[in-house]
Amino acid sequence: MVLSGVYILVTATFSLLLLSWKFYAWSVLYRQRRLLKKEHGCEEPPRYPNKDPVFGLDVAWRNYISQKNHNLLPELLSRYQKYGNTYSLRLGGSRSLSTIEPENLKSILSTDFASYSFGSRRTNALKPFLSKSIFTLTGSDWQHSRAMIRPNLAKTQFIDAESSTFEKHFGRMLSVLPKDGSEIDLEPLFFSFTLNTSIELLTGQDLYLDHDVSKLFDDAGRLIVDEFLLPFVPLRQSKKEYLEASRLCHTWIDSYIHQAIKEHQSSTSNTSLENEKFPGSGKYSLLQELVKETYDVPRIRGELLGILVAGRETTAVALTSLWFTLAKRPEIVQKLQAEVAELAGQRPDFVQLKKMRYLQNTIQESLRLYPSLPTNMRTAVQDTILPVGGGPDGSSPVFVEKGQLVIFNYFAMHRRQDIFGADADVFRPERWEDDALRPGWGYLPFNGGPRICLGQQFALTEIAYTTVRLLQEFQGVESRDNSPWKENWHVTCSVKTGCKVSLF
């Protein structure tokens, strides 16, 4: 009995001390945060009226239903219009922030970059498919990935390979396009085209992938969406399907990685370590550079898949949205044809594409209204401040506490009338001819800051080259789909109905 009493006393004392310490730590943190808010003049942003004020399941469910109905982006846009350019909401059991303020994005992505990370939600969704890669890693691991990849995606490394590779795979796409004006859906052709060009430039091999392999990537990309929207729902069928699709993609690409490792080992055993090409390949590739760094197959796989998905998905959906729009705007096609005619039938090179101003403006406008990655998010790794968004007029700084999720939306930001004019929701390439239009951090189709898309130049070149070559082969395009642009979510966001057109 005495020992039992002593045990209870010690336990009670320890519990009291622990509670006292926790209360003290909380009070210190509370005072520190209050002083930080006061020092910066922080005010609360408007609040979204959650029906579930504890877990925010009402928002999660509404987002899920909107996504399934291909109406999530307009739903998110309407919230900014109703509650302001920055507002808070309860989502997943914690209070998150949502913003479309350029100054806030500049802070998150650049000037206060170190205060934010991807957070577990994004990482957990992508990791089964992309493993350890530049798109899932943070800190020193991410810096190492970027250091490995960035030099190998530089324009000087790929400039010779790009045009010949583009033309070869464009020729294959052209061979299946009807010449009699009959209807064709360009979307699957764009996805096949960008997948094959990306694979060849990444591996140095012309694999010319068939439909079954393309479908593996389509399935994985489609199922990732549920991982973002429904991470709290256990034992989902989509979870099992996602893991299986990821496994099949891994098995497929691992065979080429093992082959590359064997060739590199053979190369280094017979020649000096300075050798830059695999025997007989005669071609520069990211894969051969990665195996010089490591033989870690999951790590190489993650980097290749990350760049492959980015190179394939973002470019294909950008081409789809662009040609979906061109098919409904013959006056824009006429202006583009006049510019393309100046090439006198010659295939364009990198410099010529850059000089075609109306073409570049049209691509910019398409990426403005239909960004391939319309939303993104970061999680604060320490207490920090957003420059604007608080108070009655939204001009005061907003306090962001450690662990808080910050969501931002390029789709909505690119439609702000105070940045792009009263006709911000209209597709008008001519707006980019106005020297007064300087959106800065208000225009981010390829992200910004240290994590800006490494393949931006490659993607823009591929979009421009493909568009010019189609305009050289066909004089016009007509839409065979009267529906408006509606979203379809995969890893990226494309057009729900595809791109059904007639080329003539």
Annotated binding-site positions for heme: 453
Q: How far does CA 349 lie from the centroid of its chain?
A: 27
Q: What is the DSSP letter of 182?
A: -
Q: What is the DSSP letter of 44?
A: P
Q: What is the DSSP letter of 392?
A: T
Strand partners, 378: 406
Distance (Å, whole) CA 34 – CA 223: 42
* Residue in the structure block whose two tokens are 């479908």: 215
Of 460, 192, 453, nearest to 312 (Cα)? 192
Instruction: Report the chain's C-alpha Rg in angstroms.
Output: 26
CA dihedral 154, 205, 266, 302 (to 10 degrees): 60
Of 51, 46, 53, nearest to 87 (Cα)? 46
**Known binding positions:** 453
* DSSP letters for 190-221: HHHHHHHHHHHHHHS------HHHHHHHHHHH
Long-range (24+ apart) CB contacts under 8 A made by 452-459 are 453/310, 453/314, 454/134, 454/146, 454/149, 454/150, 454/153, 454/307, 455/153, 455/307, 455/310, 455/311, 455/314, 457/155, 458/153, 458/158, 458/162, 458/201, 458/311, 459/311, 459/314, 459/315, 459/318
Distance (Å, whole) CA 26 – CA 35: 14
Six-digit token pair at 3? 């020992």
Distance (Å, whole) CA 502 – CA 485: 18
